[in-house]
Amino acid sequence: EPEVTQTPSHQVTQMGQEVILRCVPISNHLYFYWYRQILGQKVEFLVSFYNNEISEKSEIFDDQFSVERPDGSNFTLKIRSTKLEDSAMYFCASRWVPAADTQYFGPGTRLTVL
Amino acid sequence: DQQVKQNSPSLSVQEGRISILNCDYTNSMFDYFLWYKKYPAEGPTFLISISSIKDKNEDGRFTVFLNKSAKHLSLHIVPSQPGDSAVYFCAATSNTGKLIFGQGTTLQVKP
């Protein structure tokens, strides 16, 4: 069964460093998402991406964040200058059609900012 | 932002009995609702969904009920099994596509 994959599973970085989190969505899906979950809190939407551009972003997704689909398979989230409060689980999700369809999640990347 | 609420942080049931997980929402623009199951250090796994044009959707042991007038949905698991023990998230979406999640309910099914 097709699945969303994410690498790395765990990333430790120093405050102020740049990190890139990688995702391979399900191959025939067209819509891509990043969510995050800070420990003990709910899963929060960060950004949605379709047709090589951002379709929606949350207030969390400020200028320090960017997303890219560099080729036909990968979908990346870059944090330019990490802060302590960026420590969280980051989940990538994908879905096939825009509405009334299920988003499938990857296993997540645990980002720890020291 | 409390558009989707799961007011019970935890639920404990005996194996073989029914588990009922509840979820309330405030945004009347939501038109599609999903339940996800999550184990620690894993991503949410899709369980079952329901469109706002329906009031019930069933898939094996899992049934989701939607009461639009009350802005309430529930997930029923019958019979509950120890392997069902996990955190269950309710999520809602409108035509924008982004999912709004509840806080989650930790279900423990005791053998």
CA distances from A90 to A36, A41, A95, B20, B103 (A): 4, 13, 17, 29, 16
A20 near A8, Cβ under 8 Å?
Answer: no
Q: Which of B7, B62, B99 to mutate to test the interface with A (most CBs of A within 10 A)?
A: B99
What pLDDT, in 10s, does the model give residues B56-95?
Answer: 999 999 999 999 999 999 999 999 999 999 999 999 998 7
Beta bridge partners of B28: none
What's the whole-number mean pLDDT along residues B15-44? 94
Question: pLDDT digits over B44-56, tens only?
Answer: 999 999 999 999 9
Residues 5-44 on B with a CB inside 8 Å of A are 31-32, 34, 36, 41-44
Closest-CA distance, A114 to chain B, in angstroms, reads 20
- Whether B97 and chain A come into contact, CB under 8 Å, resolves to yes
Q: Are residues A43 and B44, on separate chains, in Cβ contact within 8 Å?
A: yes
Inspect the interface and report whether the beta carbons of A105 and B49 lie closer than 8 Å: no
Structure token digits, residue B48 = 């079952």
Is the pLDDT assigned to residue A18 strictly greater than 90?
yes
Q: How confident is the model at residue B5 (pLDDT cuts 50, 70, 90)?
A: very high
pLDDT for the residue numbered A73: 87
**Structure confidence at residue B36 as a pLDDT band (50, 70, 90):** very high
| Subunit contact B98:A108, Cβ cutoff 8 A | no
pLDDT at B43 over 80: yes
What is the average pLDDT value for chain B, to the nearest integer?
94
State chain A's mean pLDDT as an integer. 92
Q: Give the position of tokens 């059609």.
A: A97
Task: State whether residue B51 sits within 8 Å of chain A by CB.
Answer: yes
